[in-house]
Structure 1
Amino acid sequence: MTHTSDVLVIGGGIAGIGAAARISPEASVTVLESMNAFGYHSSGRSAAIFIRNYGNKTLRALNAISEPVLLEPDGISDCSLLSPRGELLVATESEIEVLERYLDGATGIEILSADQAVDLVPILRKQKIAAAAYEPNAQDIDVDRLLQGFARIIKQNKGKIVTNAPAQKISRIKGVWQVETSVGTFEAKVLINAAGAWADEVASMARVQQVGLTPMRRSAALLPPPDDHEIMKWPLFASASEQWYAKPEGGKLMVSPADEDPVEPHDVFVDDMVLAEGLDRYEQAVSVPVTRVDKSWAGLRSFVKDRTPVVGFAPDTEGFIWLAGQGGYGIQTAPALSAYVADICLGRTSELSLETMKALNPERFI
């Protein structure tokens, strides 16, 4: 049986679900997700924090547009999707230049002394801190409410989210995209590639030029809270050069080695050696040893060479929209990018600057 809609989205992560939600009031849309639930891969394994100054110039512009939506998510949720957290960056002597580069062009960041940094996170080794910076407005994101809110909009507008539907064959016949899956064949004039780590594979199936996407593993572990500390009041704290980061999570401490190991796209798992090495780097910065790991997991962050998302119509094929390469910024940029994809899909004017749209454009790979 063939199912027809105006727009097909391959990928049920935050990118695909968000784009479909913003398109659905004006066009029929179907999301195809290969797993048995949407938001399964990277979207369900993120650090779940909004950091206004995280990423390059283009990403910071997207963050700025996303923040008001996350604060007042009209139609997505009845209350803010953000809650106070803060982010503390600490630098050793060898990391000072890295921290200075991060601060270049940043807004809303306070420079702290080592004593002030330890006041915020008492387990930090003061003697290791050569410089520190604090972004008080970094906030936790309720990722599940964001995903469910987008999904609810799709369903309210009669859109469909089809799970257990990996694309097996993609064809373009007389100006219409046709995607064959194990649960049926789906067709539409516009195909949005929001397949995350698999986006280049989807492009190949559709005979569209790849963009050089590299999936990278990012691991994390939940540790018991340090004794005699109220950790839920702590900010996210991290090494300035992203050698590790830590964040209070459900009464425990989530610690990541901030690894970026290139891997093939798959349901990724933790490399025990990589995790152990990262936890050792974290231990060198704090006064509390790691005695137990309660849980560990891994996700994929996918980047292209310039570490900027790839969003826009493919220059070599009609009706094919890229929505890929978000790296570790996918959740916090989802409001901005979902609106942008809806705008270009429906022929509307976007609020993004020409500079930002040019930076996102897939044409840069030709």
Structure 2
Amino acid sequence: MTIDRIRLRLVTARLAHPFENRWQRYHTWTKLQVEVDGGGEGAQSTGRSECSAMETPFYNYETIETAWYVIERYLGPMLLAEGVSDPRACLRVWREVNGHEEAKAAVETALWDLQARLRGRPLCEEVGGSVRPVPAGATVGIEPTVEELVESVARSARAGYRRVRLKIRPGWDRLPIREVVRAFPGLPVIADANAAYDETHLEHLTSLEELGMHALEQPFPRHLLQTTAELQKRMNTPICLDEQVHSLREVRQAAEAGACRMVNIKVGRVGGIGEAVRIHDFCASAGIPAFVGAKWDQGVARWTNIAVATLPNMTEASDVGPSETYYLDDGAEPRVAFRTPGFVLPGTGPGTAVEPTGTLTVERQTELTGAGR
């Protein structure tokens, strides 16, 4: 398999409902899309992916702008110069590029899709999963009032979602968690802090256990691993790690420290599908349940996440729900939809089997070839 060109495109989609996390409130979401053209033995195809980086540097230091620059200036030209198209080998080509996992994942994931399309296999099977139903979980942002939050969760519950993840932060945690758990008995609730707390909140977070959460996600920043371990010792409620995990090495460290009993595996955050699979395999061997997380992905990434979520140890509901929950138009055909209440199915055609609709607003685009841009 060879690659001929790499295309980058910034596209903006409008959200179905405004979304607020601990940093800001969103009405639209701009993503970086990557396409890789290539082939071999007379066959040609295009692999597609979506960079998980956000517009702002709050969740992670990477943004869509930094990812664009790193791919255009380094990752793309390095791949084209080396003639490497195997998704398992591209990290070797980029070994001198420090960090920038989300940029690397965007290109690596497109190579996985291209390889699966050329082989005529569904992406889920190409990465080690299978065509099987995947349970979907919903993510609900911070709302102006608890009443509006409960109504937002109610929409997810009526749609059939298998669990809900609530965004929390200091001053917005006990009451919203309590009211949602009380209003929806039997619906697993993960309280997601996005590392909003510090050591001074240890007692307060411990006290949240009585509310009956399914899990508490990423309470502290990455550098407070021992504090996270101390909190897990005090709680029967599983602590789920998210921002903590950028590699298999970090998952091992967290597990050895006793800092987690669940892992949110974001393909972009860990540097691509290859590393996501390795983390999944370790979690399976260690008895740690896992799920695929997302950051308000558009259609291309949503289908990719579904494929990865078919791996056998993805036993928790993943962030793979129907597109209409999140976007008025997510720019992909087909759109992700429930096959049965609360469950989606991966694409059964080659690769993700998704094609762009061309209906989203294109903010910028460029193309890289073997001879340069």
TM-score, normalised with respect to structure 2: 0.25
**CA radius of gyration, larger in:** 1
